[in-house]
């Protein structure tokens, strides 16, 4: 958690947009997790960065526990995290929007909740 505490206080417009995107994905995951009746939700993050700060922050402050969600965070590179998602070892990955869109188009049973791409 120390890495997150040393982040810069100034947030650029692009970073705010990315943070908003992460929050949207996170809320969608919470909605899904709520319907699974407080099941364990494992989230794979590609790096300890500002764009993913919402997940460790929510875990640290106990927001998920208050909602009856047992959240686990793991740090994993994008390709293995997508493989784990397809294998149902994790429920959410914050990795590679374009890669997820490509595998979803290929018939793999994965739903892309939110992805920002210039082109697919």
Provide DSSP, 26-41.
HHHHHHHHHHTTS-EE
Domains held by the chain: number: 1
| Residue 112 covered by a domain | no
**Alpha carbon distance 4, 55 (integer Å):** 11
pTM for this model (two decimals): 0.58
**What pLDDT score does 54 carry?**
84
| Residue 118 covered by a domain | no
Neighbours of 76 (CB within 10 A): 22
**What pLDDT score does 108 carry?**
79
**What pLDDT score does 6 carry?**
45
Domain that holds residue 29: 2-105
**What pLDDT score does 74 carry?**
93
* Residue with the two structure tokens 């995951």: 29
* Cα 35 to the center of its chain, rounded Å: 18
| Residue 78 covered by a domain | yes
State the pairing for strand pair 40-45/92-93: parallel
Average pLDDT per consecutive 10 residues, the chain (120 residues; last block may be shorter): 49 66 70 59 86 85 86 89 86 77 75 61
| Residue 110 covered by a domain | no
| Residue 62 covered by a domain | yes
Query: Residue 43 is encoded by which pair of tokens?
Result: 């989230």
| Residue 120 covered by a domain | no
């Amino acid at each position: 958690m120390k890495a997150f505490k040393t982040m810069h206080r100034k947030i650029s417009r692009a970073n705010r947009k990315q943070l908003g995107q992460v929050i949207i994905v996170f809320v969608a995951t919470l909605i899904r997790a709520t319907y699974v009746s407080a099941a364990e939700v494992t989230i794979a993050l590609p790096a300890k960065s500002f764009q993913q700060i919402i997940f460790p922050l929510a875990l640290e402050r106990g927001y998920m526990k208050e909602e009856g969600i047992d959240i686990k965070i793991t740090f994993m590179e994008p390709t293995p995290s997508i493989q784990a998602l397809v294998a149902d070892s994790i429920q959410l990955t914050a990795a590679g929007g374009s890669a997820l869109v490509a595998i979803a188009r290929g018939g793999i049973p994965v739903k892309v909740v939110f992805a920002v791409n210039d082109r697919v």
